[in-house]
């Protein structure tokens, strides 16, 4: 579905302000998979996200979606319909007077008829855990932070892009809104077959959700693999400014203490099972 090959991107090329934000980035992602794109601040995550829906074009290398190059102009103009991008802090870009108009915006642009739009808007609001009857006529600016983020997500879901790219969608949210959004993304992937690319620096989210993890550091891919593979390399993660999820960190720590703890654990349940295994083995010796 997504193919990124040797992608390099310069901001302000050929000027004294030139910045190489991406440097030889390559990865691919099959349709229906869940990818986490991780990395510290300034590592190039947002720049990469903007290449996936054609907002930015490679300085060199290429980006393909569904087998077509984002450099094809006609394809690029339509690409937003296939790859829905939820911006970082999307609620800062609200401009409509009501939640209804905000969520309906993309479908109105597509010229859909009003009855269909109303149905889709109500569906999208319910999907993000809001009651349409309660929020449709409110100003988006009157909502709490968590509700605004949900409205922003609804405004992308409403036109059903097959690929969802979400730039730190849970940043700054309360735990309940965060959980709701993550649960929803997993559900959209598993039940509706969406391809999801989630940008986050929380490795717990990668452990729970991802089929594939790509870690950026200074514009380069410093690690990629399944979560289990990536978490086998705590030194590289640390170098990239990221922390291991707690259960995995615990196992690495026990190993440092000389215990034969397996480190390929993702969840607390798996950590518990591994501790139990160590305990019964300890008794046998």
- Picked from Mg ion, ligand ADP, none, the partner binding residue 201 (CB below 5 to 8 A depending on kind) is none
What's phi and psi for 52, nearest 5 deg? -75, -25
- Which residues neighbour 98 within 8 Å (Cβ) at sequence distance 6 or greater? 136, 137, 138, 139, 140
Segment contacting ligand ADP (CB under 6 A): 24-32, 38-46, 132-140, 179-187? 38-46
Q: Counting contacts by CB under 6 A, is residue 39 touching ligand ADP?
A: yes
- According to CB under 6 A, which residues from 17 to 36 bind ligand ADP? 19, 21
Handedness of CA 115, 182, 232, 20 (dihedral sign): positive
Nearest distance, CB of residue 46 and Mg ion, angstroms: 3
State which residue, 8 or 232, has the beta carbon closest to ligand ADP: 8
Distance between CA 172 and CA 178 in Å, rounded? 9
Nearest distance, CB of residue 125 and ligand ADP, angstroms: 28
Do the beta carbons of residue 239 and residue 223 sit within 8 Å? Answer: no
Other beta carbons within 10 Å of 245: 21
Distance between CA 162 and CA 192 in Å, rounded? 9
State which residue, 21 or 210, has the beta carbon closest to ligand ADP: 21
State which residue, 45 or 120, has the beta carbon closest to Mg ion: 45
Nearest distance, CB of residue 227 and Mg ion, angstroms: 21
User: By CB under 6 A, how many residues form the interface with ligand ADP?
Assistant: 12
Segment contacting Mg ion (CB under 5 A): 13-21, 46-54, 107-115, 227-235? 46-54
Nearest distance, CB of residue 79 and ligand ADP, angstroms: 19
Q: Counting contacts by CB under 6 A, is residue 210 touching ligand ADP?
A: no
Distance between CA 279 and CA 79 in Å, rounded? 54
Nearest distance, CB of residue 131 and Mg ion, angstroms: 31
Distance between CA 282 and CA 89 in Å, rounded? 50
Distance between CA 225 and CA 232 in Å, rounded? 10
Interface mask (CB under 6 A) for ligand ADP, residues 45-84, using x and -?
A: xxx-------------------------------------
Handedness of CA 40, 42, 44, 50 (dihedral sign): positive
User: By CB under 5 A, how many residues form the interface with Mg ion?
Assistant: 2
Which of 46, 53, 189, 200 lies at the binding interface for Mg ion (CB under 5 A)? 46
CA 123 to chain centre: 22
Which of 43, 70, 224, 263 lies at the binding interface for ligand ADP (CB under 6 A)? 43
Nearest distance, CB of residue 80 and ligand ADP, angstroms: 19
Segment contacting Mg ion (CB under 5 A): 25-33, 39-47, 105-113, 271-279? 39-47
Distance between CA 216 and CA 214 in Å, rounded? 7
How do 195-199 and 163-167 pair as beta strands? Answer: parallel
Order of strands across the sheet that contains 83-86: 83-86, 163-167, 195-199, 34-39, 212-217, 220-225
Which of 42, 66, 234, 262 lies at the binding interface for ligand ADP (CB under 6 A)? 42
Q: What are the residues binding ligand ADP (CB under 6 A)?
A: 11-12, 19, 21, 39, 41-47
Q: What are the residues binding Mg ion (CB under 5 A)?
A: 45-46
């Amino acid at each position: 579905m997504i193919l990124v090959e040797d992608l390099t991107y310069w901001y302000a090329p050929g000027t004294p302000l030139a910045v190489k934000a991406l440097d030889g980035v390559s990865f691919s992602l099959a349709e229906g998979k869940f990818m986490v794109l991780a990395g510290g601040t300034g590592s190039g995550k947002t720049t990469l996200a903007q290449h996936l829906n054609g907002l930015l074009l490679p300085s060199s290398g290429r980006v393909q979606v569904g087998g077509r190059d984002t450099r094809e102009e006609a394809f690029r103009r339509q690409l937003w319909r296939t790859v829905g991008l939820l911006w970082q802090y999307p609620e800062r870009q609200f401009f409509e007077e009501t939640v209804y108009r905000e969520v309906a915006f993309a479908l109105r642009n597509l010229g859909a008829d009003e009855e269909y739009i109303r149905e889709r808007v109500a569906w999208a609001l319910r999907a993000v855990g809001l009651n349409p009857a309660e929020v449709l006529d409110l100003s988006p600016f009157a909502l709490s932070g968590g509700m605004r983020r949900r409205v922003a997500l609804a405004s992308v879901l409403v036109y059903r892009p097959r690929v969802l790219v979400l730039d730190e969608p849970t940043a700054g949210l309360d735990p309940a809104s965060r959980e709701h959004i993550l649960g929803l993304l997993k559900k959209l992937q598993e039940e509706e077959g969406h391809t999801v690319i989630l940008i986050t620096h929380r490795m717990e989210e990668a452990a729970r959700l991802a089929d594939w993890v790509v870690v950026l550091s200074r514009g380069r891919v410093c690690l990629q693999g399944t979560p289990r593979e990536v978490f086998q390399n705590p030194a590289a993660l640390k170098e990239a400014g990221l922390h291991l999820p707690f259960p995995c960190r615990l196992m690495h720590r026990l190993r440092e203490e000389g215990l034969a703890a397996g480190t390929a654990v993702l969840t607390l349940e798996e950590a518990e099972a591994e501790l139990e295994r160590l305990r019964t083995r300890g008794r046998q010796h």
